[in-house]
Amino acid sequence: MADAFRALVLRQQEKKTLSAFEQLTIDDLPAGEVLVRVSHSSLNYKDGLAITGTGKIVRNFPHVPGIDLAGVVEHSDSPDFQPGDAVLVTGQGMGERFWGGHAQYARLPAPILTPLPDGLSAARAMAIGTAGFTAMLCVLAIEKHGVTPADGPVLVTGAAGGVGSVATLLLSKMGYAVSAVTGRVAEQGDFLRRLGASEILPREELARECKPLESERWAAAVDAVGGQTLATILAQSRYEGIVTAVGLAGGMDLPTTVFPFILRGVTLRGVDSVMCPAPLRNQAWARLAQDLDMTQLDALTHTIGFDQLPAQAQAIIAGQTRGRVVVEIN
pLDDT at 4: 93
Look at residue 294 and tell me whether its pLDDT is greater than 80.
Answer: yes
Mean pLDDT of 139-154: 98
pLDDT at 250: 87
Look at residue 3 and tell me whether its pLDDT is greater than 80.
Answer: no
pLDDT at 322: 83
Mean pLDDT of 85-92: 95
Mean pLDDT of 189-196: 94
CATH topology of domain 130-270: Rossmann fold (3.40.50)
pLDDT at 1: 61
Least confident range from 27-36, 256-265, 272-281: namely 272-281
pLDDT at 2: 65
Instruction: Spell out the SS3 assignment of the chain.
Output: CCCCEEEEEEEEECCEEEEEEEEECHHHCCCCCEEEEEEEEEECHHHHHHHHCCCCCCCCCCECCCCEEEEEEEEECCCCCCCCCEEEEECCCECCCECCCCECEEEECHHHCEECCCCCCHHHHHHHHHHHHHHHHHHHHHHHHCCCHHHCCEEECCCCCHHHHHHHHHHHHCCCCEEEEECCHHHHHHHHHHHCCCEEEEHHHCCCCCCCCCCCCEEEEEECCCHHHHHHHHHHEEEEEEEEECCCCCCCCCCCCCHHHHHCCCEEEECCCCCCCHHHHHHHHHHHHHHCCHHHHHHCEEEEEHHHHHHHHHHHHCCCCCCEEEEECC
pLDDT at 209: 95
Q: What percent of the chain has pLDDT over 90?
A: 89
Domain ranges of the chain: 5-116+300-328, 130-270
Higher pLDDT residue, 147 or 300? Answer: 147
CATH topology of domain 5-116+300-328: Quinone Oxidoreductase; Chain A, domain 1 (3.90.180)
The reply to whether 5-116+300-328 and 130-270 are identical in fold is no
Least confident range from 70-79, 103-112, 247-256: namely 247-256
Taking all residues of the chain, what is their mean pLDDT, rounded to a whole number? Answer: 95
Least confident range from 167-176, 182-191, 239-248: namely 182-191
Look at residue 143 and tell me whether its pLDDT is greater than 80.
Answer: yes
pTM score, whole prediction: 0.90
